[in-house]
Amino acid sequence: MARDRQDLRAQPVLHCVADAGGQRRLELGGRRSERFDLVACALEGGIDLGGLDTGVGSGFEPRLCAGDYFCVHRGRRYRGSRMDVSELEYELPPELIAQHPAARRDESRLLVVERATGEVRHRRFSDLPDELHGELAVVNDTKVVPARIPIASPRGEVLLLERHEGDVWEGLAKPTRRLKAGQRYGPVELIEHLGEGRWRLRLDGEPAGVTPLPPYITAPLDDPARYQTVYARDPGSAAAPTAGLHFTPELLAQLDVERVTLHVGLDTFRPVSEDSLEEHAIHGERYEVEPAAWERIRSAERVLAVGTTTVRTLETVAAGGPLSGRTTLFVKPAFEFRRVDALLTNFHLPRSTLLALVMAFAGVEETKRLYRLAVEERYRFYSFGDAMLIL
């Protein structure tokens, strides 16, 4: 959360992104509690490249190695940590936004690319074990909370963002102007207004609302379990780590797997509204890595990060962060990866920090080429879409 608690506006909630038509304001769906109205403004100040909100390495500035600089970054519209946000734009036909998950999780398509050669292969996700070479696959085992809770009078809703301790949470509540601290609204008691629609609140029992879906998914979800990974076990996220949605238990059993936890917050998906990436900041998200798990990860010959949230967790710890805490790590071009050797990820929204992370790993122009190819080959995009494996 922004330090002054003022920088994310009252309406901003899950996956604050422009839709395929370039919309900046996302409209709240009237039924099934699945979509939200979101407008975000810029957070004050910037953030150091690779900055950690852990008290360790806050001045850390990863250096780009010479080979990467000349082979990947020369001729781009950024220098060092500067990058024009226009580099994160691309054209996507609306019909390629997946509205439903595949009938079977591992039936999704898989675009495989070799970074060393640029070779591309079109596979099925079930072929993943055949594409790996002994990598330790690290997954994020966070679980999405049924976080959207309707309130009857005044008619509105509460969206749980993060549990602080016990039954005390932070959340967004609307209509904020008609709500009062100290009042109870169904299972929610509002304790303190933190500004711009954010409240400290007390919740009776465990969350029992509706799982919030991204606003670009307009079709109802018949089975809420399809917006959870099969290995989800630690409740706390406002959104799913979507790269993991493709795994089945049978496929997972074929891999060497380790777990970490990062509870996905709303700001991960907030679009970059500034002209330059260095002017955009990410607020903290809670993560945890068990000591035994980190020892396996640290000593592995090669590590496959399943999803961008796993990347941020691993690279936070690899840069000297503690095994549990909060991270504000912003991975963007010129970032020096310390522990991630391969990346499994979905196709991300334009102007998103997630797309910037993929560009940091694969190269800006290479990522653009792959996205153009994915559009040409009619891959499905976003949360319920297909996946890409970058080796």
Phi, psi dihedrals of residue 189, rounded to the nearest 5°: -110, 120
- pLDDT tens for the chain, residues 1 to 391: 333 433 333 333 333 333 333 333 333 333 333 333 333 333 323 323 333 444 333 333 333 333 332 233 333 344 444 778 888 899 999 999 999 999 999 999 999 999 999 999 999 999 999 999 999 999 999 999 998 899 888 988 898 888 888 899 988 898 988 999 999 999 999 999 988 788 999 999 898 888 888 888 888 888 999 999 999 999 999 889 999 999 999 999 999 999 999 999 766 666 776 767 676 677 678 999 999 999 999 999 999 999 999 999 999 999 999 999 999 998 989 999 999 999 999 999 998 889 999 999 999 999 999 999 999 999 999 999 999 999 9
- In terms of C-beta density within 10 A (0-12 exposed, 13-18 middle, 19 or more buried), how is residue 365 classed? middle
pLDDT of residue 214: 84
Among candidates 216, 244, 212, which has minimal Cα distance to 230?
A: 244
What single DSSP character describes residue 238? Answer: S
pLDDT of residue 137: 98
pLDDT of residue 269: 62
| Cα(183)–Cα(186) distance, integer angstroms | 10
- As given in the structure block, the two tokens for residue 348 are 């991300």
**Domains of the chain (ranges, CATH numbers):** 66-144+213-390 (3.40.1780.10), 148-203 (no CATH)
- In terms of C-beta density within 10 A (0-12 exposed, 13-18 middle, 19 or more buried), how is residue 306 classed? buried
Q: Among positive and negative, which fits the CA dihedral 48, 54, 60, 63?
A: negative
What single DSSP character describes residue 260? Answer: E
| Cα(98)–Cα(93) distance, integer angstroms | 11
- Mind giving me the DSSP string for 151-196? ETTTTEEEEEEEEEETTEEEEEEESGGG--TT-EETTEEEEEEEET
pLDDT of residue 16: 37
Phi, psi dihedrals of residue 227, rounded to the nearest 5°: -100, 25
Q: Is 234 in a helix, a strand, or coil?
A: strand
pLDDT of residue 216: 87
| Cα(32)–Cα(21) distance, integer angstroms | 24
How do residues 13-63 score in pLDDT, each as one tens digit? 333 333 333 333 333 333 333 333 333 333 323 323 333 444 333 333 333
- In terms of C-beta density within 10 A (0-12 exposed, 13-18 middle, 19 or more buried), how is residue 96 classed? middle
pLDDT of residue 270: 67
Among candidates 80, 87, 65, which has minimal Cα distance to 366?
A: 87
Provide Rg for the chain, Cα atoms.
20
